[in-house]
Chains A and B, each alone.
Chain A
């Protein structure tokens, strides 16, 4: 039985999209059957990151009940080499679609949760996917909370920015705890020298003390990543880059987490 992983954060710009895409690709490269879904309907970005231009059906259509999930899923296994199975479902980035998604009522959101839960069943049980990754909007958005409720594991991306730390703490206490979600934390954009001097054990203790959840991984701030302007899928195109190794380690850990 596979698992559903939601990647979420309190603030924007913490690296959710890069982390979810990199973990999905890393797991696909380990031979897993992976599906990555963009549930960030306010600022869809996977289509740009993965450089997909022609899309017939979006996740928006599936959640609106216009089409079935098969129409939405796109096989991008070819883009990441031959080993893995890598499917994506993209969110419609047009302003009209963003506006439409932000004006849904509670009844619609309730049905959307139902559709996410049935998507979970059909992809994991019927189609035999090992992983579904949900890339979400930051903060307390309907779509993000729906994703969290439908997930088995929530990976929270956080930086050392003070407002992010405080907000993340609140979110862990008032959101994930209430839904009894298994939650792990990824510290992103850590200054490289800090990461080296603190050492893993020290950071692990610090995270446990501040947030009360396990530390899944620490990603240093890489200038190469900023320099690439979101045009390079590091875990595929730069196999020897430290970022690829770190994300590979985190993916291997995710693979071992029981749900």
Chain B
């Protein structure tokens, strides 16, 4: 038995479930990225551009589900999947998938801080 499992045994079931949920979410995020990579062909896959500008014309040409997510991040400035989900009233896991897709497409940047992942529009050089 690994030490982390032994650690878990001492905790209440609800905490164990939370831990499992958290891990599943992390796994889900990773799977979404892998799915996207598969879709675009493993070898030839390149992000659209490392810094594709998320301007309004780009927003207009996006599929509806991604536009909603992208616009919410534009409005919030910087947000977690949870915060976006609260605004769009969609499930957190769904938003997490869309956000990661937008990161792969080069429209958003992602930054991990502890357990939380923040998404934001890269406005590098904004005066």
Contacts and interface: CB of A to CB of B under 8 A. Distances in A.
Contacts, number: 54
A191 to B, nearest CB: 35
B30 to A, nearest CB: 29
A112 to B, nearest CB: 9
B121 A149 contact: no
A65 B127 contact: yes
The interface size bin for chain A is: 20 to 34
Contacts of A178: 60, 64, 67
Given A114-B121, A149-B71, A109 B127 contact: no
Contacts of A113: 55-56, 74
Contacts of A115: 126
The interface size bin for chain B is: 20 to 34
A56 interface: no
B53 interface: yes
A110 B55 contact: yes
Given A117-B74, A178-B64, A178-B67, A64 B53 contact: no
Interface string A104-145: 001101110111011000000000000000000000001001
A43 B121 CA distance: 30
Given A117-B75, A149-B71, A178-B67, A111 B56 contact: no
Interface in B101-127: 121, 123, 125-127
B71 A106 contact: no
Contacts of B56: 109, 113, 142, 145-146, 149
A175 interface: yes
B59 interface: yes
A180 interface: yes
A193 B68 CA distance: 44
Interface of B: 53-60, 64, 67-68, 71, 74-75, 77, 121, 123, 125-127
- What 4 A-B pairs come out closest when comparing CB atoms? A65-B127, A145-B56, A110-B55, A110-B53
Interface of A: 64-66, 106-107, 109-111, 113-115, 117-118, 142, 145-146, 149, 175, 178-180
